[in-house]
Structure 1
């Protein structure tokens, strides 16, 4: 790849809930690894397929999920792929407790990540996973994410198509 003339933006850390959403995607087996750098992730309701690219050596990532593309943070499909690649911590017990959650439905209904996080933690608590344990795991993943500086190629917009 020739990176010289391309413009890149640095992605920021994700909202906490995205770490849990990544675990849920893994538990639900919604990730298909295509090769060392590419994967596909299906949304929790099955309506979307996200294409994930991770080039660790160059610090380049991409995913067509809304969080990554439009909000500029490391989205859950990237996090899930990094967990599968053993580049981020993974917790099987938490993942199993989050199996079957309809993330898209919850996010659209409540529109506040802290509310969704509370609901999800309540479900996990019923399965023997404490909120404190989950908080510790989230902190661990965020700490590891801070060690990376991921960049994503900026999309070029042709504004003439709007006139």
Structure 2
């Protein structure tokens, strides 16, 4: 089984992961597996995490095609208390149509700007939290082992 070291995700994916938790879109299957529904409900991502072996997999596009730790993995790591959760920020991220915004703006920095503005978030606090999560995530040095052969379909 081949493995690839995954890069840290784009910053917005930390917020997307927190939003998935806020919206109750994560179903823990067992200690190592979860199902994560997309923000518009059209996709369900399979997620595998074995932190003791530094091995993960997910059927999201970021993990499969772009080589970074996708937000479904990040959200599962948060649920498992392996990444920090900011409860106040999490509540502010309920109900965000992530897919719609990403398709509309085609620019993660712009989407983040819109969310911070529209939800009246403290940009400094948001960035401090994202930095904290990404710092822990980088130290995990996770590698993708291909457990799943498919990508989540629409």
Q: The TM-score by the shorter chain falls in which range?
A: over 0.9
Render the CA deviation track for 1:81-120: whole Å, top value 9, x for unaligned: 0001000000111111010000000001111000000011
- Tell me how large the CA RMSD over aligned residues is: 1.3
Could you give the per-residue CA deviations for residues 34-82 of structure 1, whole angstroms, max 9, x where no partner exists? 1110000000000000000001111110000000110010010000000
Counterparts of 2:52 and 2:102 in 1: how far apart (Å)?
A: 33
**Does residue 138 of structure 2 align to residue 146 of structure 1?**
yes
Q: How far off its partner does 1:154 sit?
A: 4.9
Partner of 1:13: 8
Partner of 2:88: 93
Query: After the TM superposition, which segments of 4 or more aligned residues of structure 1 sit over 2 Å from their partners?
Result: none
1:22 aligns with 2:21: no
* Separation in 2, partners of 1:138, 1:40: 23
Q: Look up the SS of the partner of 2:144 in the other structure.
A: strand
Kindly indicate whether the alpha-carbon contact (under 8 Å) linking 1:124 and 1:130 is maintained by their aligned counterparts in 2: no
Residue 35 of structure 2: SS of its match in structure 1? strand
Q: CA deviation at 1:31?
A: 0.4
Alignment: residue pair count: 148
Unaligned runs of 5+ in 1: 1-5, 158-163
Question: If you compute each CA radius of gyration, which structure gives the higher value, 1 or 2?
Answer: 1
Per-residue Cα deviation, 1:7-37 (whole angstroms, up to 9, x for no partner)? 1111001000000000100000000011110
* Structure 2 unmatched runs, 5+: 150-154
